[in-house]
Structure 1
Amino acid sequence: MNTLERLCVIDDDLVFTFLLKKMIEKAQVIQEALFFENGQDAIDHLIGCNNQPEKLPQLILLDINMPILDGWQFIDEYAKLQPSLSKCISIFMVSSSTDTEDYDRAMSTGYITDYIQKPIYASELQEIVNKVLTSN
């Protein structure tokens, strides 16, 4: 079975992250999952791991609305950091928003691989993992 070494979830929705943890365990497609409730903590983690590419995630699942640093602000900070990163990271924006403006904005950043509406199901998680594995 195809698995990712490391996933980073940036989302403050405790119900969503609880269910996602259970789905990851059941699907067995991720070896290690890191969870952050805001974008700033995730940026700090990426900066801290930059000299250790094996600790950087292959995939980030990013929510839009969060405290401290929301998804859009995370992308702005990630854009500054990305040229110095020692690893390519796929970012999927995951949101309950059905607003086409959010989709268009996300896809126009140049850093978002895809935009997924919540909730995520096990089959979608497997598709995301396969997409990331075949793109790297």
Structure 2
Amino acid sequence: MLEKPYRLGIIDDDQVYQLILKKTFERTQPGKSVLQFFNGEEAIDFFKSCTIPVHELPDVLLVDINMPYMNGWQFLEALELLSFAHEYNPDIHIISSSPANEDIALAHQYRRVTSYIVKPITKDKLASIIAKA
């Protein structure tokens, strides 16, 4: 069986933060790929029109909560409605600048959410997330 390239999906409207995450990931995971989206709607549109086999979609999604067009919560709801949702089970980590207990509690109500991390995510934390996936 061929080993699939590890894929990380970043869904966050902060371009600078995305660049930092992408560069950190690429330095620690050479040859592995990153998919980037700047809001939940962009990510869902990609998944809906995607021709990539489910097993080649990102293993880990880092999802911001506060984004324009479709926020992180709306993204999680829309992900559940995709035709292949029952086949696609990435580790989803909410990455947010909000330390609010309400947001943390809400995140844990989603079966697909693995953790809630308050920004910024450190290199060590990113490595830990990758190692567990």
TM over 0.5: yes
CA distance in 1, matches of 2:31, 2:92: 15
Unmatched runs of 5 consecutive residues or more in structure 2: none
Provide the residue aligned with 1:113 in structure 2.
Answer: 114
Return the letter of the residue paired with 1:59: V
Q: Decide whether aligned partners of structure 1 residues 122 and 29 sit closer, same or farther in structure 2, where only a CA change above 3 A counts.
A: farther
2:24 matches 1:23? yes
Number of residue equivalences? 130
Q: Decide whether aligned partners of structure 1 residues 22 and 108 sit closer, same or farther in structure 2, where only a CA change above 3 A counts.
A: same
Unmatched runs of 5 consecutive residues or more in structure 1: none
Aligned Cα root-mean-square deviation (Å): 2.1
More helix by share: 1
Moved over 6 A (4+): none
Provide the residue aligned with 2:76 in structure 1.
Answer: 75
- Whose RCO is larger (CA < 8 A, sep 6+)? 1
- The answer to whether the Cα contact below 8 Å between 1:29 and 1:126 also exists between their aligned partners in 2 is no
TM-score by length of 2: 0.87
% identical equivalent positions: 38
> Which residues in structure 2 correspond to 1:1-136 (within 5 Å)?
5-28=6-29, 31-49=32-50, 52-81=53-82, 84-132=85-133
